[in-house]
Structure 1
Amino acid sequence: MPRPQGFTYAVRGDGTVVITHGPRTAATLRGARAAEFVAEVDSGDAQLVMARWTGNYKRGNERAARRHPRNGG
């Protein structure tokens, strides 16, 4: 699986976490979810954690889609 790239996050003064992918906002986390995200991103690979929290990660169906007749397989 290729490593996700381009995610950044910022923690605002009120505790809100804004995750962006390139120029677009991918997710906004508040309260307990924001605190949980910050704890997790500090302990692991930040890009993978942000991809998982925003839903921008491979879902496991790429191999099956390759064999689909519409995709030439």
Structure 2
Amino acid sequence: MPGPSGFVYEAHATGTVRITRHNRPATTLHGDRAARFLTEVTTAPDPQFVMARWTGNYKRGNERTARDHPRNRR
């Protein structure tokens, strides 16, 4: 099974880390969480898995739209 791909992170001077997937925002980390993420991602053998785990349910977000579709109403 192939692993996750397409994740990119940007560390900003303000201490914020923005993680995107295929140029779409997945999550933004601030403060201590951003520092822990940077430590983990720089030492990981596969940073893609680390970014996928830190983003959590990054593929979700369309459930409400799908629920309201006429085909899915009860």
> How high is the TM-score relative to the length of structure 2?
0.72
Partner of 1:24: 24
SS of the residue corresponding to residue 10 of structure 1 reads strand
Aligned length: 57
Alignment identity in percent? 58
Q: What residue identity is the alignment partner of 2:21?
A: H
| Stretches of structure 2 lacking an aligned partner (at least 5 in a row) | 59-74
Give 1:13 deviation, angstroms: 1.0
Q: For the residues of structure 1 that align with 2:43 and 2:25, how far apart are their CA atoms?
A: 23
Paired residue secondary structure (1:34): helix
Task: Show structure 1 runs of 5+ residues with no match.
Answer: 58-73
2:7 aligned with 1:7, yes or no? yes
- Secondary structure of the residue aligned to 1:13 is coil
Q: Over the residues paired in the alignment, what is the CA RMSD in angstroms?
A: 1.4
Instruction: Report Cα offsets for 1:19-52 as digits up to 9, x if no partner.
Output: 0001210000000000000000011011000000
Q: TM-score with structure 1 length normalisation?
A: 0.73
